């Protein structure tokens, strides 16, 4: 077995020799065997990151030099795009073409932050005093734990690694134990590009084993995590003792509102994609359809027809349109989710179970599912399944549509369809979600910030703010004509 932990500039096996098999969700074959770190390995990685940061080996680089490094990594990613996409497709079960799109987005992310890094970050402050120089400077935050999910393994890691490198931070990457291969590949490229020893470190293993120190060790200055709400809450509690900076993206239950005055055919088509792309394993999936009552039957009947025709298949199936769920336990969770929705009164229109096709027998395939007659009081409306399950609610007025769209503890994203420009603007403004799509659903660009309101998380990734998360802001005041303050008297009359 190859050494797959990267600690202090060297590739290592776990200190106890432990390893973990990675299985394809498509057919359960072993696609990789990787090292499984121990707590001792984690502490070594934290020590390496802390030592490198405190030494100044990377913080001494200018923004321009660090941006050039990130640009070089982007070039290497582009060179190896197909190889890395194959690894990610093996781990996730998603189609090769989807994985290639994802790695292309990774390249775009690195290029965005490389370009952002060379912009002027510091500024002068006019304090109204000719003899005073007042400057705001931006400095690297410190050591960061970067913890990624399994649904978009390298893309979500890239959203963290690229700005951390531009900012000058040292870090430890911890990908999901289910999907580690693309993170390993990235670390090889970070090494090839010439990143100083100890700046970038990679730890593999389940959070239950390797996660505690990554979120609680006092030598860690920041935790950036993408994943579930419960884990995010655990991280927040652990960060209290040392008041770490947090960047948390914790998912969502994203409303997708269709008004009767919309381009209904376009809305239907996008609704199918929003709910069933990557089998719903998308934090911003539009799985909560909210449709105006007068067009309910037209919209829902067509969505059900379209859902019935979705072709499920594995990475090499060129005719497939979406793939399997990530694991057996996740499939079982989605199954229970649908069963609970039906028990609460939702009407199952299609799907609701594992695929029974012979070619899917060895994989975790779940049929595209539509639950109608839902209300915001139902578990299936308030909680995300992270599977291909669409719930349907109806509304009669604009105000009701807004109220329904905001009736959630989450606030990551939402979409709305209307040809009434003024109404669309009102609704977009009123919805309490971090991204709102109008007459569209799903696209993003690295140049625009990403993150959520409410329990969808803290902070922002991408855009300009995505870099700011990894920077400290310092004010430097320089008096070029020093003199006594004169605040307290220096009269010596009271002395003996």
Nearest to 157 by CA among 213, 106, 85, 201: 106
Active-site pick, 88, 98, 249, 292: 249
Nearest to 178 by CA among 333, 80, 31: 31
Nearest to 290 by CA among 414, 182, 377, 173: 414
Residue 169 appears among annotated catalytic residues: no
Bridge pairing between strands 170-174 and 200-202: parallel
CA distance 159 to 152: 11
User: Listing from the earlier edge strand, what are the strands of the sheet with 200-202?
Assistant: 10-12, 5-7, 200-202, 170-174, 143-147, 222-226, 245-249, 457-458
CA distance 348 to 197: 55
The crossing angle, in degrees rounded to 10, of helices 181-192 and 63-79 is 130
Residue 249 appears among annotated catalytic residues: yes
| CB 222 within 8 Å of CB 233 | no
| CB 57 within 8 Å of CB 198 | yes
Active-site pick, 98, 177, 283, 321: 283
The pair of three-digit structure tokens given for residue 119, joined into one six-digit string:
């912009």
Distance, CA of 77 to chain centre: 19
The crossing angle, in degrees rounded to 10, of helices 153-167 and 181-192 is 30
User: Listing from the earlier edge strand, what are the strands of the sheet with 123-124?
Assistant: 123-124, 132-140, 471-479
Nearest to 226 by CA among 200, 249, 196, 203: 249
| CB 3 within 8 Å of CB 18 | no
Sign of CA dihedral 199, 201, 207, 210: negative
Ramachandran class of 181: left when φ > 0, alpha when ψ lies in -120 to 50, beta otherwise: alpha
Q: Which residues are catalytic, by number?
A: 249, 283
């Amino acid at each position: 077995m190859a050494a797959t932990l990267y600690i202090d500039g060297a590739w290592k096996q776990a200190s106890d020799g432990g390893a973990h098999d990675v299985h394809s969700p498509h057919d359960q074959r072993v696609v990789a065997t990787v090292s499984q770190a121990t707590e001792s390995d984690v502490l070594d990685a934290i020590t390496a990151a802390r030592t490198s940061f405190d030494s100044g080996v990377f913080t001494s680089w200018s923004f321009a030099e660090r941006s050039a490094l990130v640009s070089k990594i982007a070039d290497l990613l582009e060179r190896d795009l197909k190889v890395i996409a194959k690894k990610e497709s093996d781990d996730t079960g998603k189609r090769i073409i989807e994985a290639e799109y994802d790695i292309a987005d990774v390249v775009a992310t690195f290029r965005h932050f490389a370009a952002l890094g060379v912009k002027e970050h510091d500024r002068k402050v006019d304090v109204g005093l000719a003899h005073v120089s007042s400057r705001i400077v931006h400095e690297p935050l410190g050591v960061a734990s970067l913890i990624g999910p399994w649904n978009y393994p390298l893309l979500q890691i890239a959203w963290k690694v690229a700005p951390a490198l531009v900012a000058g931070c040292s870090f430890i990457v911890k990908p999901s134990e289910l999907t580690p291969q693309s993170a390993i590949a990235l670390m090889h490229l970070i090494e090839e590009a010439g990143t100083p020893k100890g700046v970038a470190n990679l730890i593999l293993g389940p959070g239950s084993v390797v996660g505690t120190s990554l979120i609680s060790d006092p030598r860690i200055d920041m935790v950036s995590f993408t994943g579930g709400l419960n884990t995010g809450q655990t991280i927040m509690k652990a960060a209290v003792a040392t008041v770490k900076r947090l960047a948390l993206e914790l998912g969502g239950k994203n409303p997708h509102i269709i008004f009767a005055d919309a381009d209904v055919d376009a809305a239907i088509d996008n609704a199918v994609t929003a709910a069933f792309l990557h089998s719903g394993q998308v934090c911003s999936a539009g799985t909560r359809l909210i449709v105006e009552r007068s067009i309910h039957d037209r919209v829902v009947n067509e969505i059900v027809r379209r859902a019935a025709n979705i072709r499920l298949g594995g990475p090499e199936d060129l005719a497939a349109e979406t793939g399997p769920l990530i694991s057996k336990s996740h499939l079982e969770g989605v199954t229970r989710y649908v069963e609970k929705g039906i028990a609460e009164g939702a009407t199952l229109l299609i799907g609701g179970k594992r695929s029974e096709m012979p070619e899917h027998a060895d994989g975790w395939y779940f049929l595209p599912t539509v639950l109608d007659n839902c209300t915001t009081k139902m578990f299936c409306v308030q909680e995300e399944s992270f599977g291909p399950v669409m719930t349907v609610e109806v509304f009669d007025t604009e105000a009701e549509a807004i109220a329904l769209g905001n009736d959630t503890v989450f606030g990551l994203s939402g979409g709305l369809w209307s040809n009434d420009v003024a109404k669309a603007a009102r609704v977009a403004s009123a919805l309490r979600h971090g991204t709102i799509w109008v007459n569209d659903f799903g696209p993003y660009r690295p140049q625009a910030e990403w993150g959520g309101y409410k329990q969808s998380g803290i902070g922002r990734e991408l855009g300009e703010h995505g870099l700011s998360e990894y920077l400290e802001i310092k004010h430097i005041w320089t008096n070029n004509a020093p003199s006594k303050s004169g605040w307290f008297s220096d009269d010596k009359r009271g002395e003996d």
